[in-house]
Amino acid sequence: MINFQLMINFIKTKTPSFYPVVGSFVITAGWNWYHLAYRPHYRFVLISLAVWAAVWAAYRLFKWLFVYLTGRFKRHPFWQKEFPDFLDELFLIISFTFLIFFSRWELLSLVYFVLVMILFFIRLHAYLRRHPAAAPWLAVNRAVFILGLFIFLISSLGQYLAYHYYILDSNIKFYNIVFFRSFAMTMFWLLGFAVAGLIYWQFKNICRYALLVLWSLFFVFGLFFWAVNIGLLYFSNLYLSPFILTQAEGGGGVIWNRMTYLLLALFIAALLFFLLILKEAVRAHRLAPKRYWYFYNLAVMAAAILSLLGLASFKNTPEYTVARAFFNYFRGETEKIELNLAVKEKLERFGLNYDLNRFNIAHRDKVYQTEKKLLPDKFIKQRPNIVIVFLESFSARLTGPYNSRYQALTPGLNKMTANPGTTVFKKVFNASTPTVTGLIAELCSFLPPTGHDEIEGQKRLQRHRLLCLPDVLKKDGGYKYAAYITAVEKNYANKGTIFASMGVDDVFGTEELAQRISGEPLAWGYSDHQMFPFLGEYMKEKSNQQPFLLMLSTVDSHPPFDIAKDLIKYGDGKNNLLNSFHTTDNAFAKWWDNFVQSEFYDNTIVVAIADHAVFPAAYTADTMPEGIKRMNFYDEIFWAAYIPNSILPKEISLYSSSLDLTPSLLQLLGVNPPNSFEGRSVFDDREKYPNLLGMHEFGFFMNQIYPGSGIRKAEYNMPSNLQCADADFTNVTSTQLTFCEFLNFYRWKRQMLEEGRFWEK
């Protein structure tokens, strides 16, 4: 039987540089395998040989420098004569980390690295025992290793969960990105600890602890950041940001849940571990003379600086991304942005036309171009009432009329769409998200370059002068009254003032509904089973103000999908997302049954449409078996319209957007005023513009046909992920719209909004 240890000892005896040669080879193999193209093979081999020689030479130079400096500064003979030989073994162990480049399993890479570091510590610790004054060195070595290992494990947990939940990560395609980010953040924190350690020895009083305390506070803040960030990732798939901080204000049921308590407990446990480790590190400072710590701190600083300079991963860590987002947010710098003329022409293929030579850049003389008879004759003299139900987060794929798998999930909507007077609209995608901007997109036919943060957090968009459906219906359509019903407080996300700006007469929120609904609110505000009966009663109350427009936003299917106390279980009741959809549908079904038997059945149009798509974090493997990671915040949404004695087809399947709701309803009613709408009527010329856009802080969405190929692609990206230069723009208009061009449009449009160049009233 072969004795491998004897063989290795023999090779070491014959070849003194055995460890450095092997270590250099492992480093070269891992690095080049990850970074170089394998073909042509001869090129790969030649470059690898050159890198192998360079790594070996660099190590030999480092070892020579170590020997020279220890002799020059007259260090202990242990460092001058014994330790240099051991450097070869340490170099080999460190080289083992480069085998991670061959791994494609993030979790395995993390575990493997921890094992290598433990091996490194054990061997170094054993060798330091040979030093005549070993105790201080062992104390320092143990303190630094335990602290570094703790930081790496904490970083790995956060980075791995971010990798798992965050779907907007443009760097997720790189293997071992979790390891690289974890290592980068570990080096970042150890660099701060090393600097604080050097300062510690410059003072003899309490001041020596100042920088160490400051570093500790920053690290604790980092722990708290991850507790919050993981919770947000779990429920929204987004990193912490100025925008997301205000997303759930006023909704305690959304913020406080079992996940929150678990994360809080983990934060406290991590904090206690950190304090114990920090206590041991401070104790080690007292046990070991400063020259010991000087050596370690300088070594850590050198390793950290080299790592941070050599790895680009630090700049795409969640910590860096979030910090940059807050920095840009609070900096508040603006610049004059011009819309690239080629981008302007490409946008016309999406139905977005802007006249840069006039102040009202999006002005159109008409909503639609073609006169069509779309309503029965009885509505020529007497306008129909309109009831619009905005279904919270209702993606089409989770409803029976669009997906046979979920026939039993939405029997109420099934019943509505089966009605002879109902038309189902398919291939319709939401243009914005979440609710407040989704409703602006639908009712004002406006693609919002703003979001919840400004509206709810900064209170900068409390009202607007966009032309919206309620305005037009009252001014040009002969409608007498408009109201909006929401489950939460009407000042949440400024809904009260925003809807008033649309021409809505009354907004009913929690406080207003409390005067009309008996019993306590059963959800985030009142539940759907509480609001739909009120809608039915209010229709009767307003029968003397016909024609009217009444709108209601459901709430039970809002994340985290279990906030309604009167939740109705679907199937085995284990999936809260499906339970919430089933609950909203049940409340709608009861209202629909009453509506069919009421006086309004023959004179009222009922529109049921999602405010936006389901947030992707809600999907599980059983609800989305075809691939959860491919989902984003934009998807096909539910849209159906009941019209008494309808003459419309039962189904209209046309690539369209929630921007098209208002133009389509206005053409249906024959109301055709001047406007700045960005949508197109599905009854008019929408088919000429088969490309779709969606925008919000959540990201950019494009669904377009690539010119020349005829291939349709749906693509998604996050503005913060885009690094665009002048070279990313072209004057060629025959190519598809790119994300960098989308970013130019987004920034330009934001500036136009601030300048009031979309106002029509």
pLDDT (tens digit per residue) in 648-675: 999 999 999 999 999 999 999 999 999 9
Would residue 617 count as lying in a domain?
yes
Domain edge (last residue) among 663, 689, 715: 689
Q: What tokens appear for 210 in the block?
A: 């100042």
Q: What is the pLDDT of residue 252?
A: 39
Would residue 456 count as lying in a domain?
yes
Which of 163-177, 371-385, 562-576, 726-740 shows the lowest per-residue confidence on average (mean pLDDT)?
A: 163-177
Query: What is the arithmetic mean of pLDDT over 709-737?
Result: 84
Q: What tokens appear for 32 in the block?
A: 């080049």
Please tell me whether residue 494 adopts helix, strand or coil conformation: helix
User: Does residue 263 carry a pLDDT above 80?
Assistant: yes
CA separation for the pair 436, 496 (Å, rounded): 11
Cβ(390)–Cβ(553) under 8 Å?
yes
233-246 CB burial, b ≥16 within 10 A, e <16: bbbbbbbbbbbbeb
* pLDDT per residue as tens digits for the range 374-404: 999 999 889 999 999 999 999 999 999 999 9
Residue that wins the pLDDT comparison between 292 and 513:
513
Cβ(101)–Cβ(174) under 8 Å?
no
Neighbours of 122 (CB within 10 A): 12
Would residue 20 count as lying in a domain?
yes
Would residue 117 count as lying in a domain?
no
Which of 254-263, 372-381, 506-515, 591-600 shows the lowest per-residue confidence on average (mean pLDDT)?
A: 254-263
Q: What is the pLDDT of residue 6?
A: 54
pLDDT band at 4 (very low <50, low <70, confident <90, very high): very low
Would residue 34 count as lying in a domain?
yes
Q: Which domain holds residue 619?
A: 366-689
Please tell me whether residue 294 adopts helix, strand or coil conformation: helix
pLDDT band at 333 (very low <50, low <70, confident <90, very high): low
Domain edge (last residue) among 41, 70, 102: 102
User: Does residue 254 carry a pLDDT above 50?
Assistant: no
Would residue 144 count as lying in a domain?
no
Q: What is the pLDDT of residue 1?
A: 42
- Could you identify the residue written with the tokens 């939940």? 165
pLDDT band at 614 (very low <50, low <70, confident <90, very high): very high
Q: What is the pLDDT of residue 454?
A: 53
Evaluate the CA torsion angle 438, 442, 444, 447 in order and state its sign.
positive
Q: What is the pLDDT of residue 242?
A: 63
User: Does residue 253 carry a pLDDT above 70?
Assistant: no
* pLDDT per residue as tens digits for the range 9-54: 554 454 446 899 999 999 999 988 888 877 788 888 899 899 999 9
What region does 237 belong to: left with phi over 0, alpha with psi -120 to 50, or beta? left
Taking all residues of the chain, what is their mean pLDDT, rounded to a whole number?
87
Q: Residue 687: CA atoms inside 13 Å, Cβ hemisphere, count?
A: 6
- Could you identify the residue written with the tokens 């001058």? 80
pLDDT band at 753 (very low <50, low <70, confident <90, very high): confident
Would residue 645 count as lying in a domain?
yes
Q: In CATH, what number is assigned to the domain containing residue 488? A: 3.40.720.10
Which of 288-302, 528-542, 583-597 shows the lowest per-residue confidence on average (mean pLDDT)?
A: 288-302
User: Does residue 76 carry a pLDDT above 60?
Assistant: yes
Length of the chain: 761
Residue that wins the pLDDT comparison between 235 and 394:
394
The share of the chain scoring above pLDDT 90, in percent, equals: 54
Which of 318-322, 604-608, 662-666 shows the lowest per-residue confidence on average (mean pLDDT)?
A: 318-322
* pLDDT per residue as tens digits for the range 85-109: 889 999 999 999 999 989 888 899 9
pLDDT band at 197 (very low <50, low <70, confident <90, very high): confident
Q: What is the pLDDT of residue 351?
A: 95
User: Does residue 167 carry a pLDDT above 70?
Assistant: no
Beta-strand pair 604-610/422-429: unpaired
Which of 229-243, 483-497, 591-605 shows the lowest per-residue confidence on average (mean pLDDT)?
A: 229-243
pLDDT band at 629 (very low <50, low <70, confident <90, very high): low
Could you say which DSSP state residue 361 is in? T
Evaluate the CA torsion angle 373, 376, 381, 386 in order and state its sign.
negative
Q: What tokens appear for 187 in the block?
A: 């080096």
User: Does residue 331 carry a pLDDT above 50?
Assistant: yes
pLDDT band at 727 (very low <50, low <70, confident <90, very high): low
Closest to 439 measured CA to CA, from 423, 421, 455:
455
Would residue 409 count as lying in a domain?
yes
Closest to 531 measured CA to CA, from 502, 561, 552:
552
pLDDT band at 335 (very low <50, low <70, confident <90, very high): low
pLDDT band at 168 (very low <50, low <70, confident <90, very high): low
Q: What angle do CA 527, 532, 535 make, to 5 degrees?
A: 130
Q: Is the bond into 40 cis (omega within 30 degrees of 0)? A: yes
Domain edge (last residue) among 666, 689, 712: 689
642-666 CB burial, b ≥16 within 10 A, e <16: bbbebeeeeebeebbbbbbbbbbbb
Q: What is the pTM of this model?
A: 0.62
Q: What tokens appear for 360 in the block?
A: 């009202």
> Total domain count for the chain?
2
